[in-house]
């Protein structure tokens, strides 16, 4: 992970594997797996929720979105990393502020089932202060899941989601944007 986005603790995990590893969970279909990425972010859950749901904020890291059919939960999302490509369609399957967002994307590549959940974590002491003397900060556990990923695409898709999550954290913190090439050149280890 590039240094610019090191503000969050991150792991890609599967239940039963050691923290800090990058793995994928087998799904019922033998030709697909699911990606699960966990990040502990030093920000309140409600604030992080805005970075996932407000178009002005999503425009800074993944892309702006707009309703295509609000009553059906259908949106269009223009990915910032794919300039010139048509907007991707997505259907919001579940939206439970400020803790759960589940969408199904649809484009020429097929459909992707994605879920992000946010859980308030134990507040910690600001880095660089002595225990008990610093200010406390809220923390949020972000869990990103991408279900039924074709095994042949797993490494590239995992690299892409790590890139987008780091891009969100860099935008939130006003840091330099990571480069996608860095994620492809040194992908997270696989189990």
Cis peptide before 98 (omega within 30 of 0): yes
CB atoms within 10 A of CB 143: 15
Q: State mean pLDDT over 147-159.
A: 94
**Both tokens assigned to 94:** 């579940």
What global pTM score does this model have? 0.77
Q: State mean pLDDT over 115-122.
A: 93
The pLDDT of residue 6 is 38
Write out pLDDT tens, residues 18-36: 233 344 554 444 699 999 9
Write out pLDDT tens, residues 46-89: 999 999 999 999 999 999 999 999 999 999 999 887 778 888 89
Q: Which of 179, 183, 175, 180 is closest to 6 using CA atoms?
A: 175
What is the enclosing helix (H) or strand (E) of 119? strand 110-125
The CATH architecture of the domain made up of 3-179 is 2-Layer Sandwich (3.30)
Q: Give domain limits for the chain.
A: 3-179
96 or 24, higher pLDDT: 96
CA gap 149, 33 in Å, rounded: 5
The pLDDT of residue 8 is 52
Helices (DSSP H) in the chain: which residue ranges? Answer: 45-53, 55-58, 154-173, 180-185
């Amino acid at each position: 992970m590039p240094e610019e986005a090191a503000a969050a603790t991150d792991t890609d995990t599967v239940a039963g594997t050691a923290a800090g590893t990058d793995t994928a969970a087998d799904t019922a279909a033998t030709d697909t797996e699911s990606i699960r990425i966990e990040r502990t972010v030093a920000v309140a859950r409600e604030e992080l929720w805005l970075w996932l749901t407000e178009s002005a904020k999503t425009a800074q890291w993944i892309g702006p979105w707009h309703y295509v059919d609000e009553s059906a939960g259908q949106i269009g999302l223009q990915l910032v990393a794919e300039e010139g490509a048509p907007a991707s369609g997505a259907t919001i399957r579940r939206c439970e502020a400020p803790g759960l967002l589940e969408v199904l994307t649809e484009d020429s590549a097929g459909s992707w089932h994605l879920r992000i959940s946010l859980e308030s974590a134990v507040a910690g002491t600001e880095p660089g202060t002595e225990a008990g003397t610093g200010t406390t900060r809220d923390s949020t556990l972000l869990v990103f899941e991408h279900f039924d990923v074709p095994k042949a695409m797993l490494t590239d898709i995992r690299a892409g989601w790590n890139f987008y999550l780091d891009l969100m954290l860099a935008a939130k913190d006003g840091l330099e944007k990571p480069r996608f090439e860095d994620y492809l050149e040194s992908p997270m280890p696989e189990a």
